[in-house]
Amino acid sequence: MFHCSLSRSLEKIGDWWTLLIVRDLYLGVNRFDDLVTNLGISRNLLASRLVHLTEAGIVERSCYQQRPQRYEYRLTAAGNELIPVLMALTAWGDRWVTAEDGAPLLFEHVSCESVFTPQVTCSVCTQPVDVDNVTPRLGPGATAGPGTWLLGNRVQHRAEGATPVPRST
């Protein structure tokens, strides 16, 4: 296990298929056969990914019919909180990958009634963040290990080059 929340997230999530399954569950494709049809994924592969996502606490199975018993899949709270991250990744794709016919999917914010671009911002001042205005620093859980052998040193070095700032939450 890599000692970084990004790699831990990736490990937890599984692979790209699982992200597309999470997308589908969010968009209302919740049944096994529909997921097979929509994704063009083999039944075996889908079954193993759903087990992984369930064990990871991202997806849960819910019974929607008693006789015969039938199940559908839903996102858990952790799964739901992945969706804004996928929205941000989708916006990146709209900007850097998608063809000139425009965005396949738009997001409307219910509270402000606008079509918006998902953006990643600072929880304190609400301004968008980018590589130039963020300094990464070692946190309390920082350890060296596979995947992070050199990171402590590099992050330290990078932070020392930056203006020291007081910590707050």
Q: What is the footprint of a copy of itself within residues 56-115 (CB under 8 A)?
A: 57, 75, 78, 80-99, 101-115
Q: Apex CA 111: angle with CA 109 and CA 116, to 5°?
A: 25
CB 84 within 8 A of CB 118: yes
Q: Is 54 in the site for a copy of itself (CB under 8 A)?
A: no
Question: Which span sits near a copy of itself by CB under 8 A: 16-24, 47-55, 59-67?
Answer: 16-24
Member of 32, 60, 74, 147 binding a copy of itself (CB under 8 A): 147
Q: Give the rounded distance of the alpha carbon of 35 from its chain centre.
A: 19
Binding-site size for a copy of itself (CB under 8 A) equals 110
Question: Nearest approach, Cβ of 65 to a copy of itself (angstroms)?
Answer: 19
Question: Nearest approach, Cβ of 36 to a copy of itself (angstroms)?
Answer: 10
What is the C-alpha separation between 57 and 62, in angstroms, rounded? 14
What are the backbone dihedrals phi and psi of residue 58, each rounded to the nearest 5 degrees, phi first? -95, -30
Q: Is 32 in the site for a copy of itself (CB under 8 A)?
A: no
> How far is residue 164 from each of residues 60, 78, 122, 132, measured CA to CA in Å?
44, 34, 18, 15
For a copy of itself, give the closer residue by CB, 44 or 69.
Answer: 44
For a copy of itself, give the closer residue by CB, 67 or 167.
Answer: 167
